[in-house]
A and B are shown apart, each in its own frame.
Chain A
Amino acid sequence: MDDAIAVRDLVVDRGGRRVLDGISCRVPRGAVTGLLGPSGSGKTTFMRAVVGVQVVASGTVTVLGQPAGTPALRHRVGYLTQAPSVYADLTVRENARYFATLYGRGRAEADRAISDVGLAEAAGQLVGTLSGGQRSRASLACALVGEPELVILDEPTVGQDPVLRADLWARFHAMAAAGTTLLVSSHVMDEAARCDRLLLIRQGRLIADDSPAAIRAAAGVDDLDEAFLRLIRAGEAASTSTDATAARETA
């Protein structure tokens, strides 16, 4: 069982709209996999399906060898929602300790998670009084505090200053080196280069699933942003010509 996540033909509808349209992919263990795509492309829905809180129309999602959403997985998977979901009327430390207890961890782990996200100095502060960036790091601390095997992070670095962002990415890679699997979403392409593998989603479809180097090579450019643009154009051209062929055949 080498894959942390295996997704087959995943289809999700939300609000009468098809959000994910037949996605199949694998996420290897012990690596940082980036989930890239523009806002509204289905990244969050994909992550929700992996965590097991999303109603899916069809397809299967297997996480750490079990169907997504299996009760035993709740001990092994950490999830950071896009909007910070911590208690604004508790301090950073109180939040981290509460989530630590849910995972059977203690105060030492809570304090470590807080310092890992660079919030040690604000540990005694109410979350409601923090800046937006600090608040999302408090939320991140609560996702990491259980030391899960698989960490799903929905845009963890939005609004963070460049130095902190670099620190967080270093932290993610250190976790991966220790065997943790990370799935990290972002809509910023310069973060794509920091990932071991990339999944690119656009309009609910998977456009690329490879390492950054392989994606650059396939597109024939060094810039990942440009590489993705070429992949998208190539995909569109292919589907247009298929449509044209289909139209000719019908005629």
Chain B
Amino acid sequence: MSPRILAATTGRILRQLRHDRRTIALLVVVPAVLLTLVYFMYADQPTPPGQPSTFDRIALVMLGIFPFVIMFLVTSIAMLRERTSGTLERLLTTPLGKLDLLFGYGIAFGLAAAVQAAVAAAVAYWIFGLETAGSIGLVIGIAVLDAVLGVALGLLCSAFARTEFQAVQFLPVVVIPQLLLCGLFVARDQMAGWLQALSDAFPLSYAIEALQEVGAHAEPTGRMWRDVAVVLGAVVLALVLAAATLRRRSG
């Protein structure tokens, strides 16, 4: 890896994004609109005594899930475009290192996700009165980490897709099982053993648990830091695997 090439690649990806105003608008606005839907869905639901309101519980988790899903999709398509446009093959004939490219995507879309998460969190806290025991800064930080997890998995999955049709199919394959088993619908300790094992194997479960820890505790907990470390480890592992699937030589 070279800092100069990594910085140039990150800048190039952000510049591509800047020329695509509609995508920027969608990135920033869609999570806020979805949170609005969630708010009104639960507006009239009674809150069990001594517990956070249903909206607080769901919205907090959604702040992590939106960036994860959106960045997974955006990255899969972006990487597939590199492949089909021939730019990937060309890049691999230049001094660019594979990790320069993959970390470039991670950093560029991570920055985009930071803007997205900040806007979504601002809407959740200040318009819809979301309350968490821990700080909004930690929530945004974990949301960005979730986005980077989405980017890393998107980069890895795009190696197995030859067409756009295949690429979008990885959403139901890779993302939806993680959503179902992350503890949002059924608490993880109430699932059947084999489902729990699956949930334990999915990185999103730890990302969501970290958010829930921030929701329940004023100070960062040891469990939260462990969860963050697990997600970071999953990001690095996915990026290294993605680099291993990038072949400079092909048939």
Contact = CB atoms under 8 A, between A and B. Distances in A.
Nearest to A72: B95
A130 to B, nearest CB: 14
A79 B90 contact: yes
A146 B94 CA distance: 9
B95 A74 contact: yes
A191 B225 CA distance: 65
Nearest to A142: B90
Nearest to A82: B86
Contact of A14 (B5, B85, B251): B251
Interface string B74-118: 000000000001110111111110000000000000000000000
A86 interface: yes
Contact of A53 (B11, B19, B249): B249
A81 B92 CA distance: 12
A75 interface: yes
Contacts of A69: 248-249
Interface string A62-92: 0000000100001101010101111111100
A51 interface: yes
B250 A55 contact: yes
B2 to A, nearest CB: 9
Interface string B224-251: 0000000000000000000000001111
A52 B251 contact: no
Contacts of B94: 74, 99, 102-103, 146
Nearest to B88: A85
A162 interface: no
Contact of B20 (A84, A89, A146): A89
B246 to A, nearest CB: 12
A203 interface: no
Given A55-B251, A85-B87, A90-B16, A102 B93 contact: no
A94 B12 contact: yes
A88 B85 contact: yes
Given A53-B249, A89-B19, A90-B12, A81 B95 contact: no
Nearest to A49: B249
Contacts of B95: 74-75, 102-104
A219 interface: no
Interface string A90-101: 100010001101
A74 B90 CA distance: 11
B249 A85 contact: no
A146 B93 CA distance: 12
B8 interface: yes
A83 B86 contact: yes
Contacts, number: 74
A79 B95 CA distance: 12
A195 to B, nearest CB: 23
B15 interface: yes
A53 B5 contact: no
Nearest to A152: B93
Given A69-B248, A102-B5, A53 B12 contact: no
Contacts of B91: 102
A57 to B, nearest CB: 10
Interface string A127-150: 000000000000000100010000
B90 A90 contact: no
A160 interface: no
B249 A104 contact: no
A73 to B, nearest CB: 9
Given A85-B87, A88-B85, A53 B251 contact: no
Contact of A85 (B8, B12, B86): B86
A54 interface: yes
Contacts of B251: 13-15, 54-55
Given A81-B90, A94-B15, A52 B248 contact: yes
Interface in B1-56: 4-5, 8-9, 11-12, 15-16, 19-20
A74 B100 CA distance: 15
Interface of B: 4-5, 8-9, 11-12, 15-16, 19-20, 85-87, 89-96, 248-251
7 contacts: A55-B250, A77-B93, A81-B89, A87-B87, A89-B20, A90-B16, A104-B95
Cβ-closest 9 pairs across A and B: A85-B86, A101-B8, A85-B90, A102-B94, A98-B12, A79-B93, A89-B16, A55-B251, A85-B87
